[in-house]
Amino acid sequence: MMSLILLKAKIPVVQHLNTLQRTDFIKTVRRKRLLARAECNYISLNVSDGDSVQQKEISDEGSENESDYERLTFAPKLRGPRQIEYTASVNNALSEEIPKDETQNKWEEQQIKRALKFPQDVYTAGSLCRTQHTKAKFDPLVSLPPIHVEVIKKRLTRRLTSLQDIHFSHQREYAKYIKDIEDSKSTIQELEKSSDATSNYKFYRTMNTYIGNLLNCLNEKICRINELESEMHSLLKQRAEILLKQRQEELRNESSFIQLLTRNGNSKESMQDDDKQKLSEDCEVQRGHRRRKRECSGEFDHHEGMSSDDEIPLTAMAEFQKKKDSILQDRENLFDDVHTDYCSLRSILLKFQHWKENFPDSYYDAYVSLCLPKLLNPLIRVQLIDWNPLEEDCMNLKEMVWFRYIEDFVHAKSISRFQRPDDPDENIVAKIIDKIIFPKITGFVDHVWDPLSASQTQRLVQVCKNVFEEYSFSETDSRKAKQDLLSVVISRMKKSVEDVFIPLYPKSSVEDRTSPHAKFQDRQFWSTVKLLSNILLWDGIIPEDTLQELGLNKLLNRYLLLILINTPSGLENVEKCKKVVECLPERWFRECEDGASLPQLSNFSQHLLVLARTFYKDNYSNEIKNVILLLVKVKSLRIADDFLEEHKMEHLKSILSK
């Protein structure tokens, strides 16, 4: 206790000593404090359970002394911040000289606080200055949370996945950079190999001049090209009109001649109209000439009225050939004053091919594939002036020179690395057919084609099939051109059906198959059968419902069936029915079910049933078999089976399964 009192008494004196005196005084105080500790005359901060009584006594005594100390004044009260800073510096110096443990520091702070009675904020600042360097010590007794292997594994897996993703992204970026470098190097090489700007400018300037001169040349010649094309078309149209007019005139005269015979009691001598008789005789002479010509060629199975083409008069034929030769000669002389580079399809296409191979970027940017069909249009039309798809010697499009040139240009393998996989030049042929071939064929169908001509119809159908099957037309304009062509075909066929004429005479007039009435009626019947055959040749091109309406509802049921019913039952009637069935496309009967034929053929099937019953009565077994075969071909199996069941003709049932 004495050491504590001395310490409290000496602390205020320290403030008035100089630095040397303070140091000596502090050393003296420390020596005395060490002696007091050695005598155990101090308050220990670590108190055990056994010293609880002693601790209580010391604390009571300390409280009494503390109250005494509070009443004593050892030093004047600090009045300003300088005094506070001075005290803090002294404490820092003491703490720096001799290292102290944490217990000693707390004890000294408590004593200084009691002696000086510092404000709480000042004391706290001083204590923080001394304790800020104290390091936290690890206590091994504190228990850590449990660690699971699965948690560590999951964390490592997530970390590994993240690193792999980053690695893959870096690899992709690296590959992209490598490819960009290679492309850049190849582009640099191509640019180094390419011609310089001067040669490029020279090429484009030359090409521009060439195209300008070509357009001027074609603009100057286009009027003459249109005239030649119109002259040839008019010439063919005029010949077709002559043939049509001749056929109508013969039909009118022969019909009038038969009517006069009927009114005058079949007496030719009493006939008043000698001109009509003479015309009828001339027609008969022409038929005899054609008949002998067919016999010489070995064609015996032929019926009057089914001739493929009518004969044009020799004078008219000579005039036609003369005009045609004149037009073709004018065509040959059309480009006599033009250099080959401007009138030859091959030369023109070579120019554009050179442009495409050497400067593909500007070639595609100029949309040459859209311009070439229009640019070549006049030159192609010149080549097609003498092209007639209705004639026997008509050349196929693929065999024409201009067509081969265009196909070679389209399918030429460009050496440029900039060639596109979807080359727009591949559509040039289709566009030429759309803009040139379709309109030309439409003109022939509308003004030149004769639907009654079997040879013309066969060639026209073949040309249309070739064009439709070999070239696909997906654009709206192409579909429109095709629909326009088919609409004209249907219109011409409807007009031909409306012009059909088959006279009906009393049975007394046609019983004699050699009479003029029977011959004229037969000729008109077979002419209508030929028209039916020509119309049904368009199966697969014209819609099926349109063909059935024209061929079955109008021609067969309105005209042909009426003549078949009025024709005496016999071999001639079976032959006529057989020719009618041969005209029908087999494709129509593939979907017939339940032993029933097409609804449009129900009346025709009933007529065949009547023929079979008539032959059964007359005991004509061969003719019955032929009629059953016809019923099988039109898929009227139910009618045939009922007939065979009715008449117990089991031996013919094997025909039904064929």
pLDDT tens, residue by residue, 477-509: 557 888 999 999 999 999 999 999 998 888 888
Rounded Cα–Cα distance for residues 354 and 357 (Å)? 5
Confidence at residue 15, expressed as pLDDT on a 0 to 100 scale? 47
Confidence at residue 286, expressed as pLDDT on a 0 to 100 scale? 61
Angle made by CA atoms 631, 632, 634, in degrees to the nearest 5 = 70
- Mean pLDDT of all residues belonging to the chain: 78
* CA distances (Å), origin 157, targets 75, 152, 161, 248, 385: 71, 9, 6, 97, 81
Confidence at residue 268, expressed as pLDDT on a 0 to 100 scale? 43
Largest Cα separation within the chain, whole Å, is 186
pLDDT tens, residue by residue, 167-191: 999 999 999 999 999 999 988 877 7
Average of per-residue pLDDT across 596-609: 92
Per-residue pLDDT at 74 exceeds 60: no
Query: What tokens appear for 131 in the block?
Result: 């304790």
Neighbours of 533 (CB within 10 A): 19
Long-range contacts of 118-121 (CB under 8 A, 24+ apart): 118/78, 118/84, 118/87
Per-residue pLDDT at 514 exceeds 90: no
Closest C-alpha to 490, from 550, 557, 558: 550
Confidence at residue 187, expressed as pLDDT on a 0 to 100 scale? 85
Per-residue pLDDT at 576 exceeds 70: yes
Confidence at residue 149, expressed as pLDDT on a 0 to 100 scale? 86
Confidence at residue 282, expressed as pLDDT on a 0 to 100 scale? 59
Confidence at residue 108, expressed as pLDDT on a 0 to 100 scale? 79
**Of 73 and 116, the one with more pLDDT:** 116
Per-residue pLDDT at 83 exceeds 60: no
Rounded Cα–Cα distance for residues 239 and 448 (Å)? 8
Confidence at residue 126, expressed as pLDDT on a 0 to 100 scale? 47
Contact 448, 390 (CB under 8 A): yes
Query: What tokens appear for 470 in the block?
Result: 């070999």
Per-residue pLDDT at 6 exceeds 70: no
**Of 209 and 269, the one with more pLDDT:** 209
pLDDT tens, residue by residue, 299-330: 545 566 666 555 677 888 889 999 999 999 99
CA atoms within 13 A on the CB side of 63: 5
* SS3 at position 542: strand
User: How many helices and strands in the chain, by DSSP H and E?
Assistant: 27, 0
Angle made by CA atoms 638, 640, 646, in degrees to the nearest 5 = 100
pLDDT tens, residue by residue, 96-151: 444 446 777 788 777 787 776 544 444 444 444 444 444 455 555 556 677 788 88
* SS3 at position 539: strand
Confidence at residue 513, expressed as pLDDT on a 0 to 100 scale? 79
* SS3 at position 577: helix
Provide the β-strand partners of residue 539. 542
Residue-wise DSSP of 19-78 = HHHHHHHHHHHHHHHHHHHHTT-S--SS--GGGHHHHHHHHHHHHHHHHHHHH---SPPP
Per-residue pLDDT at 63 exceeds 50: no
Rounded Cα–Cα distance for residues 299 and 319 (Å)? 31
Residue 40, phi-psi category: left (phi > 0), alpha (psi -120 to 50), beta (remainder): left
pLDDT tens, residue by residue, 435-491: 999 999 999 999 999 999 999 999 999 999 988 887 655 554 557 888 999 999 999
Confidence at residue 498, expressed as pLDDT on a 0 to 100 scale? 93
Query: What tokens appear for 353 in the block?
Result: 């091919």
Confidence of residue 247 (pLDDT cuts 50, 70, 90): confident
Confidence of residue 218 (pLDDT cuts 50, 70, 90): very high
Residue-wise DSSP of 480-525 = HHHHHHHHHHHHHHHHHHHT-------HHHHSSTTSHHHHHHHHHH
Confidence at residue 352, expressed as pLDDT on a 0 to 100 scale? 94
Confidence at residue 470, expressed as pLDDT on a 0 to 100 scale? 74
Contact 387, 439 (CB under 8 A): no
Query: What tokens appear for 218 in the block?
Result: 């074609």
Percentage above 70 pLDDT, the chain: 72
Average of per-residue pLDDT across 278-292: 59
Confidence at residue 506, expressed as pLDDT on a 0 to 100 scale? 83
Average of per-residue pLDDT across 26-42: 71
Residue-wise DSSP of 206-254 = HHHHHHHHHHHHHHHHHHHHHHHHHHHHHHHHHHHHHHHHHHHHHHHHH
Average of per-residue pLDDT across 617-633: 88
Outline where 411-504 has alpha helix (H): 428-432, 438-447, 454-470, 476-498
Confidence at residue 5, expressed as pLDDT on a 0 to 100 scale? 42
Rounded Cα–Cα distance for residues 589 and 223 (Å)? 53
Burial bucket for residue 450 (CB in 10 Å: 0-12, 13-18, 19+): buried
* SS3 at position 422: coil
Instruction: Say what angle helices 368-383 and 197-263 make with each other, to 10 degrees.
Output: 50
Query: What tokens appear for 396 in the block?
Result: 């196929």
Per-residue pLDDT at 402 exceeds 80: yes
